[in-house]
Amino acid sequence: MYYNDCVQVRLGNGLSAPLWFTKGVKQGCVLSPLLFALYLSGLGRVLHSMKEGVNFSGVVVSALLFADDLVLISRTRIRGMNKLLRTVHRFCTNMRMKLAVEKTVILSSGPTGGRWVVSGDEPSLEASLIAKYLGVDLSIKGRNLVKAREARMISTARAYAHTIMGCTRTGLDRSATAQRLWECCAIPAILYAVEAMVVSKATVAELEKIQSFVARFVLQVPRSSSKAIGYTDAGMMPIEHRIVARSLGYLQALTNRKKDPILKGVVAVVLEDMSDPWTAQAQAWTRMVGFATLAGVTKAQVSTKVELWSISQIQSLVKEQRSLVALSEPDRWFSLQPHVNDSPNSRTLNRFRAADVGLGNRRPNFLGGAYKECPLCLMGGTVSRLDEIHVVLECPAVGFTRRAKGIEAYLVGQLGNRNPIELIMRGYLGGDGADPKTMMARAGALQCVLNDWFRQVSLA
Ligand SMILES: [Zn+2]
């Protein structure tokens, strides 16, 4: 397949003159990595035998090879690195290849200055502060090695969030579309390589803010709504929990590696070094989700434990927030809840679940009124705290609509079980496991009660 192969471009009805391939492997072909590795395997062996790199209890790593990306590692700043560079140059010349000097950068700690030379005919290499390795910006200066990468994570997240909100305003169910785009396109790009980094708390908090922004857009709830509803109803796992899941999955793979003695040796040394921030963090997270060690643990066991831990964290967050007492807990978390779609009914339901329908108790309502107590009850001489539960299940002013829409019947049935009012509300909002069709009917009933309450407030 590599013999006498060529390519022609079709333009209209005509074909261009053929172009013959004389070098390189085919982009996207499954054989390409293997062919490339065979071609380059000699170089790896030579560099490894030079032992110029860092020592991991007997294993000296002088080079990292990944596809066409080559990293040389030297203990000595100038001498060892120049030796490695000369070896690479000699190998390339023998194999009739050329090192792309303009794409080569040196990351050096310690004193500035120095000259690194690939060959006599090429300009010498300059020391750089930031280099991209496998798509990740690494910086040699300052305490934070991945500062540039963190800034990029945030800008990527913002760009995705704006694109998603822009491109899903028209067309199909925008809730489902936005949620899928976030989970399948944005999250993999934002969290790329996060398992091998220590991400600062500030970055996590910023990403979390952007994710809740998308979650509220998916659910069509106001910006003031709790971020907890983004986890439970939009099915978006908190950013911090995603990072824990990825890091522990990576640690599990490293710990339980059977083949590759070199990698095994390196991993053993890194995982014993508790002064390494990544190791310290990974060990702390291992214990946090309930493992003593990940040795002998399967990938599935890790993800199950992380998910259980994440759910329990969110459950306590929901319990802490008084306004979310009515938020029902879905059967399966971290998936878009079935009652969420682009309809006005699902919007109503989401707003009731978030306890944020705009009554005027959190901020002035659309009539401009702000109240802590129900204004309709006050007129009748009783003081009642104003919230969604009061309007839906208690307020006598909307009793007629409540009876007409079947909410009263539900309430009476549930009161027979001696359930507190919060639990009844939670059941009505889906906690009783009602199917999506029933939930849509209930959303319609909720909207009627709400409209009736607002109509009377506007007349009062
Ligand atoms: Zn009332």
**Cβ atoms of 95 and 38 closer than 8 Å:** no
Task: Tell me, in angstroms, the distance from the centre of ligand 1 to residue 276's CA.
Answer: 59
Task: Tell me, in angstroms, the distance from the centre of ligand 1 to residue 450's CA.
Answer: 11
* Percent of the chain predicted with pLDDT > 70: 98
Task: Tell me, in angstroms, the distance from the centre of ligand 1 to residue 328's CA.
Answer: 23
* Percent of the chain predicted with pLDDT > 90: 49
Distance (Å, whole) CA 141 – CA 162: 32
Task: Tell me, in angstroms, the distance from the centre of ligand 1 to residue 225's CA.
Answer: 22
Task: Tell me, in angstroms, the distance from the centre of ligand 1 to residue 324's CA.
Answer: 20
Task: Tell me, in angstroms, the distance from the centre of ligand 1 to residue 396's CA.
Answer: 6
Task: Tell me, in angstroms, the distance from the centre of ligand 1 to residue 250's CA.
Answer: 54
Q: Which distant-in-sequence residues (6+ apart) come within 8 Å of 420 by Cβ?
A: none
Interval 386-405 mean pLDDT: 96
What is the residue-wise DSSP string for 286-298? Answer: HHHTT-S--TT--
Task: Tell me, in angstroms, the distance from the centre of ligand 1 to residue 382's CA.
Answer: 8
Task: Tell me, in angstroms, the distance from the centre of ligand 1 to residue 228's CA.
Answer: 27
Residue 11 bridge partners (DSSP): 14
Could you tell me the pTM of the whole model? 0.85
**Cβ atoms of 2 and 34 closer than 8 Å:** no
**Cβ atoms of 391 and 453 closer than 8 Å:** yes
Task: Tell me, in angstroms, the distance from the centre of ligand 1 to residue 391's CA.
Answer: 6
Task: Tell me, in angstroms, the distance from the centre of ligand 1 to residue 364's CA.
Answer: 17
Distance (Å, whole) CA 113 – CA 135: 27
Task: Tell me, in angstroms, the distance from the centre of ligand 1 to residue 376's CA.
Answer: 5
Q: Is the pLDDT of residue 65 over 80?
A: yes
- Select the more confidently predicted residue: 25 or 254: 254
The separation between CA 161 and the C-alpha centre of its own chain, rounded to angstroms, equals 12
The mean pLDDT value of the chain amounts to 88
The pLDDT score that the predictor gives to residue 268 is 84
- 125-129, 336-340, 362-366, 439-443 — which is least confidently predicted? 125-129
- At residue 312, φ and ψ (nearest 5 deg) are -65, -35
The pLDDT score that the predictor gives to residue 378 is 95
Predicted confidence band of residue 173 (pLDDT cuts 50, 70, 90) = confident
Torsion angle defined by CA atoms of residues 302, 304, 307 and 308, in that order, rounded to the nearest 10 degrees = -110
- 33-47, 98-112, 288-302 — which is least confidently predicted? 98-112
| Per-residue model confidence as pLDDT tens digits over 279-317 | 999 999 999 999 999 989 999 999 999 999 999 999 999
For 94, other C-beta atoms within 10 Å of its C-beta total: 10
Q: Tell me, what amino acid is at 108?
A: S
The pLDDT score that the predictor gives to residue 400 is 96
Q: Where are the beta strands (DSSP E) in 120-258?
A: 127-128, 130-133, 136-139
| Per-residue model confidence as pLDDT tens digits over 109-120 | 777 667 787 777
Task: Tell me, in angstroms, the distance from the centre of ligand 1 to residue 233's CA.
Answer: 28
Distance (Å, whole) CA 364 – CA 31: 64
Interval 35-47 mean pLDDT: 85
Considering only the C-alpha atoms of the chain, give the largest distance between any 2 of them, rounded to a whole number of Å: 96
Closest to 267 in 3D by CA, of 246, 252, 284, 245: 252
Q: Is the pLDDT of residue 141 over 80?
A: no
The separation between CA 327 and the C-alpha centre of its own chain, rounded to angstroms, equals 24
Task: Tell me, in angstroms, the distance from the centre of ligand 1 to residue 355's CA.
Answer: 16
Residue at token pair 């109240």: 371
**3-state DSSP assignment of residue 116:** strand
Torsion angle defined by CA atoms of residues 41, 42, 45 and 51, in that order, rounded to the nearest 10 degrees = -120
**Cβ atoms of 138 and 187 closer than 8 Å:** no
The pLDDT score that the predictor gives to residue 142 is 65
Task: Tell me, in angstroms, the distance from the centre of ligand 1 to residue 340's CA.
Answer: 29
**Cβ atoms of 183 and 239 closer than 8 Å:** no
Task: Tell me, in angstroms, the distance from the centre of ligand 1 to residue 224's CA.
Answer: 23
| Per-residue model confidence as pLDDT tens digits over 221-232 | 998 899 999 999
Q: Which distant-in-sequence residues (6+ apart) come within 8 Å of 176 by Cβ?
A: 336, 340, 341, 342
